[in-house]
């Protein structure tokens, strides 16, 4: 992606932002410098707590009450030269926000006004730009929704945020931001909560709007695949400082800073199957102290004495790349190519820990159906059903991992809950070690619950904030009468904490005292407490940084080898599937449309939906020019699924026969099959 470097639109100089807290002054942003040119996409990456979002909020002066910009300057180019935004009175700053600089926040559901229609929220921005008649306002609002790819924009403009899907809410946020025709758009993790298909659409909208209007984009993300497909230049933040900047191609060709290299090494993928992912030890340091040396020293595997005693200077290399590291001061371009970083040898699984044979099936599901009735009227009669799960069949062998992937709303989580009998299926069989769980009731089902557990997506929401870790771990053992007497259970708690990489003193702490990765380790320990044979992992790494994700994936793989656990891994992260899973099932609108061994399904997908899903994933190899195929449209309602193949309204290869009846499964050998009538066509 080439970009002519024209004049600078935004210049940030020595920005320092602090927060006054009960434990002292926290230096959240500590001396940040960068420039953004007109029409440029400047990406900022790094772990949570590194200061990315605070930098953006400092630019717009939207800090919380205890936050303040201590020093520095934020200069925005205008007709007369530059204006220091930090020196403007608040009344003048209001004219900058929305007009010159707009922002898209990470979570659109909490950023949109729930009591105003989407169209009205866009009109509010338009009203500030000048006087327009009501009809003109509405027409312009609808036009903006159409420009960001919202289908049936005139109807959607009259709907409230709760009536929109996650992808449509994010598009509405973009339309509101673009209503002011800003020179700079700040996008703070704009796709984190979205499926890969919707994510691809949103990124495409941003790219098209940027090309059409010449808008600059400050993109904050932790997804290096998005950076590869969108950015012109990249900055890496760590502990309140920028530690590396480079042009995108140079950045991916040879990452320089040890922290940047660790981020690349932490990424899962097919090339690292059977090995241990590299992790970054420890956590981002607390920013309420004065640093004597490099802030990354305690976590760096290339640290030496000078790193701990001398703060590294900002080194600008011949190519223009900047690095904050002592190792970069004497060597220009010393980083390894990203391919070498990603393909570095990793310890493989020991042959003594070979997986159990796939013939030993632990869980077998046949024709599972979960419908939720829609009741209306005084007598609450059932007028329709939400067909969340509509005839799913799958199996999980002992000691192996089945990944279940698909868009939000396709029924993945409902399948997991139905297997555990947290939701009672309407029909079908759930055979666990030859016993149909759907026929068990009361104490009989209760005794079986120790054999299967679940790890939820959000560990903070799923852990009781009023219970200490020891009580959280003992709760399941006590309820299911597992672990012997009180002393034995207490010793078991210490074993569990050690098993998941936590120290024994964690037993007396509460969930809020842990980081996100540590909380997920507590959730895993809780699942292990009753010695289960099957664990359902419902998006357990989606909210984690790549470094913490690597720790959790290493832990899950190690526990599987050690204890012979089986996993049903629900996720939308294809890289995680490539690394961890043995088999994969692709789900769409309540049904599985393709299944088989990971290498077969991901290497040679047969169903058009699987192909679209895989083609929507931004990857680091996008820098080589890989074409990303966009899946258009929204997933149909599970209340009234389409006649015939459910995917045909969105399928570019659909024919009349696809609309007639639901296709039978077609086998391709080796357990790989897909429900599509066109898999044998020559152009498939």
Buried b (16+ CB within 10 A) or exposed e, 417-453: bbbbbebebbebebbbeeeebbebeeeeeeebbbbbb
The reply to whether 467 and 335 lie within a common domain is no
Using the predicted structure, report yes or no on whether residue 379 has a pLDDT greater than 90: no
Instruction: State the DSSP code for 348.
Output: B
The reply to whether 403 and 479 lie within a common domain is yes
For residue range 319-328, what is the model confidence (pLDDT) as tens digits?
889 999 999 8
The reply to whether 524 and 630 lie within a common domain is yes
Query: Residue 397 has which token pair?
Result: 């062998």
- Residue 389 maps to which CATH number? 3.40.50.300
Of 291, 314, 345, which marks where a domain is finished?
345
Specify the higher pLDDT residue, 515 or 207.
207
Would 212 be classed as within a structural domain? no
Using the predicted structure, report yes or no on whether residue 304 has a pLDDT greater than 60: yes
Q: Answer for the pair 641, 589: CB distance below 8 angstroms, yes or no.
A: yes
Predicted local distance difference test score (pLDDT) of residue 223: 84
For residue range 327-343, what is the model confidence (pLDDT) as tens digits?
987 655 556 666 666 56
The reply to whether 378 and 465 lie within a common domain is yes
The reply to whether 513 and 660 lie within a common domain is yes
Helices (H), 214-332: 224-230, 248-253, 258-265, 305-309
3-state secondary structure 517-548: HHHHHHHHHHHHCCCCCEEEEECCCCCCCHHH
The reply to whether 333 and 366 lie within a common domain is no
Would 202 be classed as within a structural domain? no
Least confident of 163-167, 218-222, 547-551, 601-605: 163-167
Using the predicted structure, report yes or no on whether residue 200 has a pLDDT greater than 90: no
Would 459 be classed as within a structural domain? yes
Would 32 be classed as within a structural domain? no
Range of the domain at 655: 361-674
- DSSP letter string, 380-423: TEEEEEEEEEEEEEEEEETT-EEEEE--TTSSHHHHHHHHTTSS
The reply to whether 543 and 464 lie within a common domain is yes
Work out the mean pLDDT of the chain and round it to a whole number. 87
Of 292, 318, 345, which marks where a domain is finished?
345
pLDDT band at 518 (very low <50, low <70, confident <90, very high): confident
The reply to whether 628 and 653 lie within a common domain is yes
Of 345, 372, 397, which marks where a domain is finished?
345
Predicted local distance difference test score (pLDDT) of residue 3: 44
What is the number of structural domains in the chain?
A: 2
Torsion angle of alpha carbons 638, 642, 647, 650, nearest 10°? -100
The reply to whether 383 and 474 lie within a common domain is yes
Would 205 be classed as within a structural domain? no
Residue 204, CB-side half-sphere exposure with 13 Å CA sphere: 20
Would 170 be classed as within a structural domain? no
Residue range 617-632: average pLDDT? 64
The reply to whether 574 and 598 lie within a common domain is yes
Predicted local distance difference test score (pLDDT) of residue 2: 41
Would 271 be classed as within a structural domain? yes
Q: Answer for the pair 363, 428: CB distance below 8 angstroms, yes or no.
A: no
The reply to whether 367 and 340 lie within a common domain is no
The reply to whether 376 and 311 lie within a common domain is no
Predicted local distance difference test score (pLDDT) of residue 346: 55
Q: Answer for the pair 526, 476: CB distance below 8 angstroms, yes or no.
A: yes
Predicted local distance difference test score (pLDDT) of residue 680: 66
- Percent of the chain's residues with pLDDT above 90: 55
Q: Answer for the pair 296, 328: CB distance below 8 angstroms, yes or no.
A: no
Would 193 be classed as within a structural domain? no
* Proportion of the chain in helix, strand, coil states, percent, rounded to 5: 35, 25, 40
Using the predicted structure, report yes or no on whether residue 1 has a pLDDT greater than 60: no
For residue range 417-471, what is the model confidence (pLDDT) as tens digits?
999 999 999 999 999 999 999 999 988 998 898 999 999 877 778 899 999 999 9
Torsion angle of alpha carbons 249, 251, 256, 257, nearest 10°? 180
Specify the higher pLDDT residue, 613 or 193.
613
For residue range 559-596, what is the model confidence (pLDDT) as tens digits?
999 999 999 999 888 889 999 999 999 999 999 999 99
For residue range 383-426, what is the model confidence (pLDDT) as tens digits?
889 999 999 999 999 999 999 998 887 889 999 999 999 999 99
Taking each helix axis from N to C terminus, what angle separates 469-479 and 516-528, rounded to the nearest 10 degrees? 20
Predicted local distance difference test score (pLDDT) of residue 350: 46
For residue range 636-651, what is the model confidence (pLDDT) as tens digits?
888 889 999 999 999 9
Least confident of 92-96, 118-122, 201-205, 293-297: 201-205
């Amino acid at each position: 992606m080439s970009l002519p470097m024209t004049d600078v639109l935004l210049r940030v100089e020595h920005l320092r932002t602090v927060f006054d807290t009960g434990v002292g002054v926290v230096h959240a942003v500590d001396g940040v410098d960068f420039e953004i040119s007109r029409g440029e996409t400047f990406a900022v990456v790094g772990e949570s707590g590194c200061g990315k979002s605070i930098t953006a909020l400092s630019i717009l002066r939207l800090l919380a009450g205890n936050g303040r910009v201590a020093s520095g300057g934020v200069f925005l180019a205008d007709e007369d030269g530059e204006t220091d935004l930090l020196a403007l009175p608040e009344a003048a700053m209001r004219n900058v926000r929305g007009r010159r600089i707009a922002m898209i926040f990470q979570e659109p559901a909490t950023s949109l006004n729930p009591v105003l229609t989407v169209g009205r929220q866009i009109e509010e921005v338009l009203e500030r730009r000048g006087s327009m008649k009501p009809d003109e306002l509405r027409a312009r609002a609808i036009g903006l929704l159409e420009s960001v790819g919202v289908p049936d924009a005139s109807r959607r403009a009259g709907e409230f945020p709760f009536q929109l899907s996650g992808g449509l809410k994010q598009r509405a946020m973009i339309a509101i931001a673009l209503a002011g025709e800003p020179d700079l758009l700040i996008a703070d993790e704009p796709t984190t909560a979205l499926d890969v298909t919707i994510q691809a659409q949103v990124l495409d909208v941003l790219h098209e709007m940027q090309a059409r209007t010449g808008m600059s984009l400050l993109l904050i993300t932790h997804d290096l695949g998005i950076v590869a497909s969108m950015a012109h230049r990249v900055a890496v933040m760590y502990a309140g400082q920028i530690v590396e900047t480079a042009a995108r191609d140079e950045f991916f060709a040879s990452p320089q800073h040890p922290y940047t290299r660790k981020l690349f090494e932490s990424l899962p993928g097919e090339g690292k199957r059977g090995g241990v992912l590299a992790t970054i030890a420890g956590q981002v340091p607390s920013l309420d102290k004065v640093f004597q040396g490099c802030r990354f020293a305690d976590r760096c595997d290339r640290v030496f004495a000078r790193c701990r005693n001398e703060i590294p200077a900002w080194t600008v290399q011949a190519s223009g790349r900047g690095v904050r590291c002592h190792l970069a001061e004497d060597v220009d371009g010393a980083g390894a190519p990203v391919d070498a970083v990603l393909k570095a040898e990793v310890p493989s699984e020991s042959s003594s820990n070979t997986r159990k044979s796939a013939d030993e099936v632990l869980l077998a599901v046949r024709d599972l159906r979960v419908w939720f009735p829609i009741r209306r009227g005084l007598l609450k009669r059932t007028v329709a059903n939400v067909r969340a799960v509509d005839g799913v069949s799958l199996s999980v062998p002992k000691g192996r991992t089945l990944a279940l992937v698909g868009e939000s709303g396709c029924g993945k989580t409902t399948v997991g809950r139905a297997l555990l009998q947290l939701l009672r299926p309407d029909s079908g069989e759930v055979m666990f070690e030859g016993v149909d769980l759907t026929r068990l009731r009361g104490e009989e089902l209760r005794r079986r619950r120790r054999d299967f557990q679940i790890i939820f997506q959000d560990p903070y929401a799923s852990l009781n904030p009023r219970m200490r870790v020891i009580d959280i771990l003992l709760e399941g053992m006590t309820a299911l009468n597992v672990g012997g007497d009180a002393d034995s259970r207490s010793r078991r708690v210490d074993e569990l904490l050690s098993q998941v990489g936590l120290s024994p003193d964690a037993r007396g702490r509460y969930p809020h005292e842990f980081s996100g990765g540590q909380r997920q380790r507590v959730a895993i320990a809780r699942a292990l407490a009753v010695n289960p044979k099957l664990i359902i992992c419902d998006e357990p790494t989606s909210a984690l940084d790549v470094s913490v994700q690597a720790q959790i994936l290493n832990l899950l793989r190690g526990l599987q080898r050690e204890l012979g656990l089986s996993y049903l891994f629900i996720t939308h992260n294809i890289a995680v599937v490539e690394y961890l899973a043995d088999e994969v099932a692709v789900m769409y609108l309540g049904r599985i449309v393709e299944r088989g061994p990971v290498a077969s399904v991901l290497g040679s997908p047969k169903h058009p939906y699987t192909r679209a899903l895989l083609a929507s994933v931004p990857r680091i190899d996008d820098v080589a020019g890989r074409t990303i195929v966009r899946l258009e449209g929204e997933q149909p309602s599970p209340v009234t699924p389409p006649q015939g193949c459910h995917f045909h309204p969105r399928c570019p290869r659909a024919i009349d026969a696809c609309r007639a009846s639901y296709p039978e499964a077609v086998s391709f050998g080796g357990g790989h099959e897909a429900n599509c009538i066109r898999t044998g066509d020559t152009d498939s």
